[in-house]
Amino acid sequence: MEKRSLLVPHDFTTVANMATNYAISMAKEMQANVELLHVVKDAKGTSKAKAEFEKVIAGLKDLPANVQVNYHIKSGSIFTDIAAAAQELHSSLIIMGTHGSKGLQQKMFGSFALKVITSTHVPFLVVQDNVKGVNLNKIVVPLDESQESLQIEQVTTAMADIFKSEVHILTEKKVDSNLKLKVAVHSGLLSKQLKESGLSYVTEVIKKEKGYSVDIANYAVKNDAHLIAFAYHSDSLLPQFDTFAQNLITNKQGVPVLVVNSKEAGNYFF
């Protein structure tokens, strides 16, 4: 089997370095290599980017013996070249770092992340700058009444199998009987898949307190879970108006978030 690759878009910031270290820790367990990507506007920026990457590579310490870190420089747009590089490298994950900013900056990053996510079929993992290492003992998976929310199943099952994670399946408490039945069915379907795969899981129905995205992140923190995984789907033509996904990706609690584009779910390794 071809070795997995984890793609890290890199802009030579400390946050990007943090995402690189996070990717390296994941790669050690996933038997993967880490591929760093920087996108320049034109060829003029290539030599400078190469010099910066050499510094990044030289600064890596305690690199696992089974992990190689390579770099790539593309000329074009981040909204097309990240997806193109992920496809070319057969990447299992795209891992990107962000500051846990507030207000407009946070909203802008959420919109940016969604735009990248909708450009690719590869799962997209966002880690904030306050993350403390990789701990995937528990994965929180929120579902809703839409069929698309179940598209997270394949990736979650694969991740839980690799990292021996306990999966926490969340649904929001519904008053409407039809919606209540739908979320219960979806929770049951994912539970069945995890059980058949021999994986540990729990199911929880959470009450609405501060909004579903905030309640999900609060649940993760309360239960010492360090990854939230969900399928992105929206009827909106413009991702910047999807506040639920934005708020979850940039949650104030700083919990890493794994997102799959439900319209393009599935890739070469998961």
SS (H, E, C) the chain: CCCEEEEEECCCCHHHHHHHHHHHHHHHHHCEEEEEEEEECCHHHHHHHHHHHHHHHHCCCCCCCCCCEEEEEEECCHHHHHHHHHHHCCCCEEEEEECCCCHHHHHHHHHHHHHHHCCCCCCEEEEECCCCCCCCCEEEEEECCCHHHHHHHHHHHHHHHHHCCEEEEEEECCCCHHHHHHHHHHHHHHHHHHHHCCCCEEEEEECCCCCHHHHHHHHHHHCCCCCEEEEECCCCCCHHHCHHHHHHHCCCCCCCEEEEEHHHCCCCCC
- When comparing pLDDT for 128 and 234, which is higher? 128
- When comparing pLDDT for 246 and 222, which is higher? 222
Give me the pLDDT at residue 130, please.
Answer: 77
- CA dist 111 and 174 (Å) reads 28
Q: Which CATH architecture has domain 138-253?
A: 3-Layer(aba) Sandwich (3.40)
Q: Which CATH architecture has domain 4-98?
A: 3-Layer(aba) Sandwich (3.40)
> Which amino acid belongs to residue 156?
T
Question: Is residue 230's pLDDT more than 80?
Answer: yes
| Predicted confidence band of residue 1 (pLDDT cuts 50, 70, 90) | low
Domain ranges of the chain: 4-98, 138-253
Mean pLDDT of 129-153: 90
Give me the pLDDT at residue 43, please.
Answer: 79
Mean pLDDT of the chain: 88
Question: Is residue 270's pLDDT more than 80?
Answer: no
Give pLDDT tens digits for 43-94.
788 999 999 999 999 999 889 999 999 999 999 888 889 999 999 999 999 9
**Greatest alpha-carbon span in the chain:** 61
**Two tokens, residue 78:** 């981040």
Q: Which of 225, 213, 222, 202 is nearest to 252 (CA)?
A: 213
Q: What are the distances in angstroms from CA 30 to CA 85, 95, 117, 143, 234?
A: 20, 14, 22, 26, 31
- CA dist 176 and 179 (Å) reads 5
Question: Is residue 264's pLDDT more than 80?
Answer: no
Mean pLDDT of 200-221: 94
Report field, pTM of the whole predicted structure over 0.75: yes
Question: Is residue 202's pLDDT more than 90?
Answer: yes
In the block, tokens 């393009």 appear at 264
What is the DSSP pairing of strand 124-128 with strand 257-261?
Answer: antiparallel
